[in-house]
Structure 1
Amino acid sequence: MSAYNITKFTNPSTFILLGIPGLEEAHVWFSIPFCTLYSISILGNSTILLIVKREPALRGPMYYFLCMLAVTDLILSTCTLPKMLSIFWFNAREISFTACLTQMYFLRCSSLIESGIFVAMAFDRYVAICDPLRHSTILTNHVVAKIGLAVVLRGGLLVLPYPFLTRRWPYCRTNIISHTYCEHIAVVKLACADTRISSYYGLFVAFFVPGLDVLFIAVSYAQILRAIFILPTKNARLKTFGTCGSHLSAILAFYIPIIFSSLTYRFGHNVPLWIHVLIANFYLLVPPMLNPIIYGVRNRQLQKSLFQFITHKGI
C-alpha cells in the first residue's frame, strides 16, 4: 500500500484496487486458478448456449431458463475477472470512477437476476412434478418470456440505486479499495459522509430479496416433496426427485458462498482482510464454473446433444 499514498479529494477520477491485500507477492500464483476457473466458465456456459440453440429437442422452459442462467453467469464472471487478472499479471490497479460504478452495478444486478432464475426454475419443477399434464399449457413460451423479463427488470431496477447513491457521496479519505473489484460496501466505506442510506439499502438487497427467493424455492420444494412421497413405488419417487438434482445442486453452489461471504464481510471483524477478499471472490468464480458442469453431468439430453455435436464436427 505504500506505493499509493492516501490522498484527499472530493470527486475521485479513479480508484486503486489492491487485489488481495497482504498477498500481493502471490498475485501471479492466484491468477492461475482464477484464470482456469474463468476459462472453464466461459467454455461451459458458451457450450450450453450453443447446444440449446442448435438442438430443437431442447426447446422448453427448463432449457430457456438454463440459457438465461448461462448468460447471467457469463456477465457475472466477465464483469470482474478480466480486471482481476490485469491486476495479478500487469499490476494494472487503476479503475475509473465510472467503470467502478458500472462494474458494481452489473455485479449486483447479475447476482439478483441469477437468484430470480433459480426461483423460476423451482416453479418449472413444481409444475412439471405437481401438475405434469398442464405443464405445457401453463409454461408456454409467452409465459416463460414474461417470467424472464420480470426477473431481469427486478434485478436491474433494485440495483439501480447502488451507483446513484454511491456517486452522490463525497470521497475525501482515500481512493484505495482493498479488494479485487468494486464491491459495494468497500466503496461506500471510503466516503466521508453519512452513508447509512447506502448501507441499509445494500443490506436490504443483499439479504431480504434473496431471502424471499429462498423462501419461494423452499415452498416449491415442499410441495414437490409432498407430491413425490405419494408416488406408489420407491423407484418412481427416486426417478422423479432425480429430475430436481441439478437444480438443487446449482442452488446450493450459488447461495451458500454468497451467504457465507456476506456474513463474513459484515460480522467477521476479526477475520484477516485477505480472507474476506478470497471468500468474496469465491461466489464470482465457482458458481459460474459449476453450473454448466452440474447440468451437463446430470442431464442426459444435454449429454446426448453435446456428443452428437462433437461427433458431427469430428472433434
Structure 2
Amino acid sequence: MDAEFNGTYITLGGYVDVDKYGYVYFAILLTIYILILCTNCTIMCLICIHRNLHEPMYIFIAALSLNSVLFSTVLYPKLFIDVLSQKQIIPYSTCMFQFLVFYVFGSSDILLLSAMSYDRYVSICKPLHYPTIMGTRKVIVLLTVAWLLPFCQFSVSIVIMANHKLCHLTLEGFFCNNSVYKLHCMTSPILNVWGLVSLVNLCLIPFLFIIFTYVKIFIITYHSCLDVRKKAAETCIPHLMVLFSSYCLGFFDIIMARKESDFPKIVRLVMTLQIVVYNPLFNPIVYGVKMKEIKNYIKRLFSCPENKII
C-alpha cells in the first residue's frame, strides 16, 4: 500500500470555472492570505512585546493567532498553485498532510477556546485564587494539551486511512477534509469509531465544559455589581463570538462532507471557502476590536506621529 499511497494523485473537483477566473481567484486568495498574516502577526507581536499582556487570556489569544498563521501558510500556497494550473491535482500523501493540518489546528482552536473559558471562569468566579490556579505551569499544560491531543488523535486516523484502498480519485472540494473518506473503496468501521471518539474528545466534551463554565459565570455576574458585569462582558463576548463561529464552521464542514451532492457546485465552493477564510481572518479582528487592551495598543500602533507628540 505504501507505493500506492505515495504515487496516487487525487483530482480536486471543487473549483468552478478556474480556467476563466484563475487570476481572479489568485488575487482574492492572495489578498486574504496577506490580511490573515498581517492581522494575526500584529496580535501576536503586540502580546509578545507588551508585558501587561503576558497573562493567560492573551497568551491563549496569541496561540489562536499562531494556529491561523500556520494553518493558512500550509494551505494557501497549494491553493495559489491550483488556481493557476490547468489541472488541479494533489498527491495522496500530501492530501493526508492537508487533512492532518486542517483538523489538528481546527481542533486545537476548540481546545484553546475551552482553556480560555476556564481562564474566564477562574478570573470571574474565583478572583482571589486566580494567580495561584492560572500559573505559568497550568498555562503550559493547557497549551501542550491543545496542540498535542489533536495531533495524536488525527495521526491515528492518518495511519488507518493509509491502509485503505482507493476506488475514487476525484475529491469534490479544493482541499482535503473529511471528504477523503469517500475516496475509499469501502467504509471502515474502525475509522468510523475512531472518528466518533475524536469528535467526542475534541468537540463534544469541550463544548459541554464551555457551557458549564459560562453557566457559572452568568450566575456569578448576575448577582454582582454593574462594574463586574461590564468587565465580564468585555472579555467574554469576543470569546463567545469566536466560539460560535468555530462551531458553526465545523458544522458546515461536517454537512458539506456528508451532503455535498445535495448542493450546487458554486454553493459548495462558497461554503468551503468560508471554512478556510473566516476564522483565520475573523478571530484577530474580533479580538482587536473587542478586547480593550489590545484595541488600545492597535490604536497607538497606527496613530499618526503628530498625535503621539501631542
TM-score (norm 1): 0.87
Q: Tell me, yes or no, if the aligned pair for 1:86 and 1:92 is still in contact at 8 Å.
A: no
Distance 1:35 1:105 in 2: 23
Once the two structures are TM-superposed, the CA of residue 40 in structure 1 deviates from its matched residue by: 1.2
The equivalent of 1:3 in structure 2 is none
1:177 has 2:174 as partner? no
The equivalent of 2:61 in structure 1 is 66
Q: Tell me, yes or no, if the aligned pair for 2:40 and 2:69 is still in contact at 8 Å.
A: yes
1:149 has 2:141 as partner? no
Q: Tell me, yes or no, if the aligned pair for 2:234 and 2:292 is still in contact at 8 Å.
A: no
Number of aligned residues: 304
Once the two structures are TM-superposed, the CA of residue 226 in structure 1 deviates from its matched residue by: 0.4
1:263 has 2:255 as partner? yes
Q: Identity over the aligned pairs, expressed in percent? A: 22
Q: Tell me, yes or no, if the aligned pair for 1:20 and 1:27 is still in contact at 8 Å.
A: no
1:228 has 2:221 as partner? yes
- What whole-Å deviation, never above 9, does each CA across 1:156-179 have from its counterpart, x for those lacking one? 1111112111111122x3433222
Once the two structures are TM-superposed, the CA of residue 86 in structure 1 deviates from its matched residue by: 1.3
Q: Residue 99 of structure 2: which of 104, 107, 118 is its match?
A: 104
Q: Residue 120 of structure 2: which of 121, 125, 144 is its match?
A: 125
Once the two structures are TM-superposed, the CA of residue 271 in structure 1 deviates from its matched residue by: 1.9
Distance 2:303 2:8 in 1: 50
Distance 2:236 2:186 in 1: 48
Q: Tell me, yes or no, if the aligned pair for 2:10 and 2:92 is still in contact at 8 Å.
A: no
Q: Tell me, yes or no, if the aligned pair for 1:12 and 1:175 is still in contact at 8 Å.
A: no
Amino acid at match of 2:84: W
**In structure 1, the residue corresponding to 2:183 is in which secondary structure?**
coil
Indicate the larger mover: 301-310 or 49-58.
301-310
Distance 1:291 1:257 in 2: 13
Please give the residue correspondences for 1:244-259 in structure 2 after superposition, counting only pairs within 5 Å: 244-259=236-251
Q: Tell me, yes or no, if the aligned pair for 1:69 and 1:117 is still in contact at 8 Å.
A: yes
Once the two structures are TM-superposed, the CA of residue 310 in structure 1 deviates from its matched residue by: 4.6
Please give the residue correspondences for 1:1-315 in structure 2 after superposition, counting only pairs within 5 Å: 11=5, 13-18=7-12, 20-24=14-18, 25-91=20-86, 93-171=88-166, 173-184=167-178, 186-206=179-199, 209-233=202-226, 236-267=228-259, 269-310=261-302
Distance 1:239 1:147 in 2: 24
**In structure 2, the residue corresponding to 1:290 is in which secondary structure?**
helix
Amino acid at match of 1:181: F
Q: Tell me, yes or no, if the aligned pair for 1:79 and 1:107 is still in contact at 8 Å.
A: no
**In structure 2, the residue corresponding to 1:16 is in which secondary structure?**
strand
Q: Tell me, yes or no, if the aligned pair for 1:19 and 1:181 is still in contact at 8 Å.
A: no
Distance 2:269 2:199 in 1: 17
Distance 1:207 1:23 in 2: 38
Distance 1:96 1:313 in 2: 51
Q: Tell me, yes or no, if the aligned pair for 2:181 and 2:187 is still in contact at 8 Å.
A: no
Distance 2:262 2:211 in 1: 33
**In structure 2, the residue corresponding to 1:189 is in which secondary structure?**
helix
